[in-house]
Structure 1
């Protein structure tokens, strides 16, 4: 009999994703407010097109930092805390910077699909990352430790 803790069930992971989506929206709004205050309201033009070249990369860095620091400091994001799940290294230890960065980059790859908006419709550009995350999470349905591709690549799991 194995003494290794069981991986978190899918429904708790999904609930944490929903909570974290709300946290990410709040983070993006706060960064947007600060950017608007710093630029005197000139982050976007009158039509809503972003004109500050640094704005979207800044949003990505801040959101990425939220996840990275949460995983490295206690293994939990705000969305994971109520569901009592955490990201750990394969051996059960804390997630280090290298594992956290690998997990972040692989999990974040579908965000790049938003760039499809320049060659397709907004609907396709918004659905493409969702499809990408489905691909990343698909192995968790079949893996004994319920790991997605990002966890396999980083040597982490959710318990």
Structure 2
């Protein structure tokens, strides 16, 4: 295997994942404000499903656009890049497939807790437990990639910053 296509450590990828989650608060805030303003929603429970669908689309636009360019802001911070199996930049179609498959981080756990009347804390524990399991499952992939990347034909690689010479 090409050493340039080696996956970053699991700890680094998960640190990037957490940082991405923090950055998404800003995206959610702006998108939620825009949705509430345009739909004239006065109560947070009104139009809840429409807001969720809107956020799904906004997240998709955010990730597909940035992954097709190679990196999100969090990925730049952690020197990680998304490429296809051969190390080439991914297309928007492949980025869209990766986005849809990346919901495997949450959907199985959400589906498991939805039929039960669990408290918020219990749901969070189950969802975070699934996230940990999904992350650890990458250890069983031959190149240590996340399984949604393997299914999408993408991979995360280390992408050290190129230092700029100042003259």
Shorter-chain TM range is: 0.7 to 0.9
What whole-Å deviation, never above 9, does each CA across 1:103-152 have from its counterpart, x for those lacking one?
Answer: 21221134334464563222343334333333432332233421111111
Q: Corresponding residue for 2:91? A: 96
Q: Following the alignment from structure 1 to structure 2, what is the Cα–Cα distance between the partners of residues 3 and 70?
A: 25
Q: Following the alignment from structure 1 to structure 2, what is the Cα–Cα distance between the partners of residues 72 and 36?
A: 29
Which fold has the larger relative contact order, with Cα–Cα distance below 8 Å and residues 6 or more apart in sequence? 2
TM-score (norm. length: structure 1): 0.81
Aligned: 1:131 with 2:126? no
Q: Corresponding residue for 1:80? A: 75
- Range with greater deviation from structure 2 (109-118 or 93-102): 109-118
| 8 Å Cα contact 2:10/2:135 also seen in 1 | no
TM-score (norm. length: structure 2): 0.78
Q: Secondary structure at the match of 1:130?
A: helix
Aligned: 1:9 with 2:9? yes
1:80–1:134 CA distance, 2 compared to 1 (3 A): same
Q: Corresponding residue for 1:109? A: 104
- Range with greater deviation from structure 2 (106-115 or 82-91): 106-115
Q: Following the alignment from structure 1 to structure 2, what is the Cα–Cα distance between the partners of residues 50 and 131?
A: 30
What whole-Å deviation, never above 9, does each CA across 1:30-83 have from its counterpart, x for those lacking one?
Answer: 1111122223342x3xxx42435411100111112211111111x111111011
Q: Which ranges in structure 1 are unaligned for 5 or more consecutive residues?
A: none
Q: Following the alignment from structure 1 to structure 2, what is the Cα–Cα distance between the partners of residues 118 and 25?
A: 27
Q: Corresponding residue for 1:51? A: 47
1:88–1:53 CA distance, 2 compared to 1 (3 A): same
